[in-house]
Amino acid sequence: MTVTLWPSSPGLTIGYWGNKMGAPQVVNAFAALAVKYPALAAIPITSEASVRSYFTKANCSGDCMTMFLAQALGTAMNARSGSFGDQSVYFDGQCKTVDSWLDIALRTAIPTDRATRIAFKSLFDDLNNTRAIRCASVS
């Protein structure tokens, strides 16, 4: 039996996606991402300035929706490269690909309670900062 642990595919943070290098990419990709992940449509992205503003003002007070969506958008931007989205990570007792976790959180089971939003926000933050726990493969 061989156990293999692959290195994480590095992500870019919401600080990057909100800066002068990342914001134009977010504007260009946002319409397609909002179709793929309907929960992202709640973010008012219309220009580079709106991207910077959203990422700067996002926080986890109240229902934690703005920071949940900010971190999710950052992860969705990172996942546009296949290697990032294809990596398997451990969360909530399960190993799934980043693409699968995004699909669950932003399309099929959008979190309606604060605790679940915080959990997914933390997962996405860990992914964006290359701190998430990778799953090993066994052969």
Domain span holding position 56: 3-138
Residue 15's identity, in one-letter code, is G
Question: Residue with structure tokens 């293999």?
Answer: 4
Q: Which tokens is 80 given?
A: 């546009």
Looking at residue 6, its pLDDT comes to 60
Looking at residue 1, its pLDDT comes to 52
Looking at residue 109, its pLDDT comes to 84
Looking at residue 66, its pLDDT comes to 97
The three-point CA angle 78-81-82 to 5° equals 125
For residue 122, which phi and psi values (nearest 5 degrees)? Answer: -65, -40
Q: Looking at the 3D structure of the chain, how many domains does it have?
A: 1
For the chain, which ranges sit under pLDDT 70? 1-7, 137-139
